[in-house]
């Protein structure tokens, strides 16, 4: 036992301990600068991705609302055309004069307030060369929030049996 106790108090041990005390100690209770920068970069990427997802979701909800509005407007115009089933050619002649035509989009404007971005067009033709059947197509277009060359549209198609002539 005498040797163990003597080793603990030996001057060599004391000198080794005093030499090592000048060296910087590695602390395990803090965060390094590199770890902090990496964590902030990861957080910035995550926030950016979440922001893009939120923006995409908002844009998709706006498009869904516009599509629903366009479908209702197309249905309204289709009902108007079908109400004149006995005189489709007379209705077409009156419609071309009464609805305001826009040359830029080659379609007709809606006159009601709040429908400035919507346009519509119709087409009535014989179905499969039969004078008894008419194909009616109503298209409603709208402008996107961001200007693009493509106008989204909703189309309604129906086939109507009519008397020829």
| 49 pLDDT higher than 60 | yes
**Has residue 72 been placed in a domain?**
yes
* Average pLDDT over every residue of 32-60: 93
Considering 70-79, 87-96, 155-164, the range whose residues carry the highest mean pLDDT is: 70-79
Q: What is the pLDDT of residue 37?
A: 94
**Has residue 22 been placed in a domain?**
no
The 10s digit of each residue's pLDDT in 104-142 is 878 888 888 888 888 898 998 889 888 889 899 999 988
Q: What is the pLDDT of residue 11?
A: 54
Whether pTM exceeds 0.85: no
Residue 155 and residue 137 in contact, taking contact as beta carbons nearer than 8 Å = yes
**Has residue 11 been placed in a domain?**
no
What stretches of 39-143 adopt beta strand conformation (E)? 101-102, 107-109, 118-127, 130-142
Length in residues, the chain? 165
Domain count, the chain: 1
The tokens for 110 are 């809606």
Q: Could you list the residue range(s) of the whole structural domain that residue 88 is in?
A: 37-161
| 17 pLDDT higher than 80 | no
Arithmetic mean of pLDDT over the chain: 82
**Has residue 82 been placed in a domain?**
yes
Residue 157 and residue 124 in contact, taking contact as beta carbons nearer than 8 Å = no
**Has residue 27 been placed in a domain?**
no
**Has residue 93 been placed in a domain?**
yes
Q: What is the pLDDT of residue 89?
A: 84
| 22 pLDDT higher than 80 | no
**Has residue 7 been placed in a domain?**
no
Share of the chain above pLDDT 70, in %: 78
| 33 pLDDT higher than 60 | yes
**Has residue 6 been placed in a domain?**
no
Q: What is the pLDDT of residue 165?
A: 60
């Amino acid at each position: 036992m005498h040797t163990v106790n003597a080793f603990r108090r030996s001057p060599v041990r004391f000198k080794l301990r005093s030499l090592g005390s000048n060296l910087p100690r590695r602390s395990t209770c803090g965060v390094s600068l590199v770890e902090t920068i990496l964590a902030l970069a990861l957080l910035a990427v995550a926030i950016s991705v979440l922001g893009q997802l939120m923006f995409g979701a908002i844009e998709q909800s706006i498009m869904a609302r516009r599509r629903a509005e366009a479908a209702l407007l197309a249905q309204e115009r289709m009902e108007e055309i079908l109400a004149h089933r006995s005189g489709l050619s007379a209705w077409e002649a009156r419609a071309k004069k009464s609805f305001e035509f826009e040359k830029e989009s080659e379609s007709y404007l809606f006159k009601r307030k709040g429908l400035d971005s919507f346009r519509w067009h119709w087409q009535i033709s014989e179905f499969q060369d039969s004078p008894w059947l008419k194909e009616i197509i109503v298209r409603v277009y709208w402008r996107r929030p961001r200007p693009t060359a493509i106008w989204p549209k909703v189309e309604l198609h129906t086939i109507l049996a009519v008397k020829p002539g």
